[in-house]
Structure 1
Amino acid sequence: MVDRALAPAAGAEQRLREFGITLPPPPTPFGNYVEGVRIGKLLYLSGMLPVIDRKPQMIGRLGAELSVDEGQRAAEIATLSGLSAIKAELGSLDRVTAVAKLGVYIATSGDFREHPKVADGASNLLARVFGPEMLSGRVVLGVASLPLGLPVEIELLVEVAE
């Protein structure tokens, strides 16, 4: 377990600059929902997809059409969209005080077994942006299909400063 009292209060925006990470435009819904809902100190994001400007960055299933490396990249792109949605909602990623949970859903062929490696594409990006002390618990699931034929969908739950 991580003691969140030890987590840094700020610095995500600086880390973006240091690592040369550019956020895509904030995502827009593909249906009748919102990208995020804030309840108290928690911001719940809808599922984030590897889509930029409403254009899928890759299509297919891991273990069939796509490799583990491509899956990691899809998870990273989906996480970048999540970070962009958080920034649009809060004004700054420095307002995030904890990453409470990461969910990674992976469209796979039936015999695919490298789920954790694909999910690390999301976890590694979050560790770079927020610092390794802010890594969260996560759930990683393989599924038969995801919206628009995309390979990965992530969900994030973050705590924010008031």
Structure 2
Amino acid sequence: MASIFKDSLSYLLVFIVSLIALTSCNSTIDKPLRDNFTSEIPENYNPEANLSVLDISLRDQGIPVANYVHAIRSGNLLFLAGKGPKQANGENIVGKLGADLDIEEGYQAAKEAGINQLSVLKAELGNLNRVKRVIKVTGMVNAIPEFKDHSKVINGYSDLMVAVFGENGKHARAAVGMGSLPGNMAVEVEMVVEVWE
């Protein structure tokens, strides 16, 4: 009887210690998100003004030529279709990273894709100040198999989002290599954002 009681007490102690450890772990994981983001619009939050400071002109994205749309809204989330690095002159930045383009050129291509996504957001929402937070970015890099700096390329996109939206532009991200992309464009990036009610 004493042995059964002792075993039960041991199991209870292990359970309590595990519960405390799990609670501590969760609060450590969640804390940075709580500290870095507010659910209320910050007083100085003005992405529209930031565009002017950055001297960025948005572009008409036209109507998709295939059977898809630029963006779909579900609740407070806006899912944006992938955009490439089409420049203001209407030409895409094309080529493979590691063969035709270097990291700096890839960075600029990702930034161009970002400008195109901002243009979609403006067209969908009417005002970039309605973007509550950039949630997720998926960056695809047209690269040779030996290329290893995909993240440095997609930084061109991520840096732009933070420059426009501040802390609300920081996001979860994937930067992956592709064997090819449509039209041989250098990058394609898709994004998910949360919008204010």
Which TM-score band applies after superposition, normalised by the shorter structure?
Answer: over 0.9
Of residues 22-31 and 58-67 in structure 1, the stretch that sits farther from structure 2 once superposed is 22-31
Any idea what SS the aligned residue of 1:2 has? Answer: helix
CA contact (8 A) 1:2 1:133 kept: no
Equivalents in 1 of 2:168, 2:145: separation in Å? 34
Residue 42 in structure 1 maps to residue 73 in structure 2 = no
Misfit runs of 4+, over 6 Å: none
- Aligned residue number for residue 55 of structure 1: 90
Among all aligned residue pairs of Structure 1 and Structure 2, give the percentage whose two residues are the same amino acid: 36
Residue 2 in structure 1 maps to residue 33 in structure 2 = yes
- Aligned residue number for residue 193 of structure 2: 158
* Equivalent of residue 12 in structure 1, options 33, 47, 53: 47
Give the drift of 1:8: 4.5
The structure with the largest alpha-carbon Rg is 2
Of residues 74-83 and 17-26 in structure 1, the stretch that sits farther from structure 2 once superposed is 17-26
Gaps of 5+ in 1: none
Any idea what SS the aligned residue of 2:154 has? Answer: helix
1:137-160 residue CA offsets vs partner (Å, 9 max, x unmatched): 100100100111101000110000
Alignment of 1:80-99 (within 5 A): 80-99=115-134
* Equivalent of residue 161 in structure 2, options 126, 140, 160: 126
1:73-119 residue CA offsets vs partner (Å, 9 max, x unmatched): 11000110000001100001000001000110001011001111101
- Aligned residue number for residue 110 of structure 2: 75
Gaps of 5+ in 2: 1-31
Q: CA RMSD in A?
A: 1.8
Give the drift of 1:53: 6.7
Q: Which has the higher helix share?
A: 2
- Aligned residue number for residue 24 of structure 1: 59
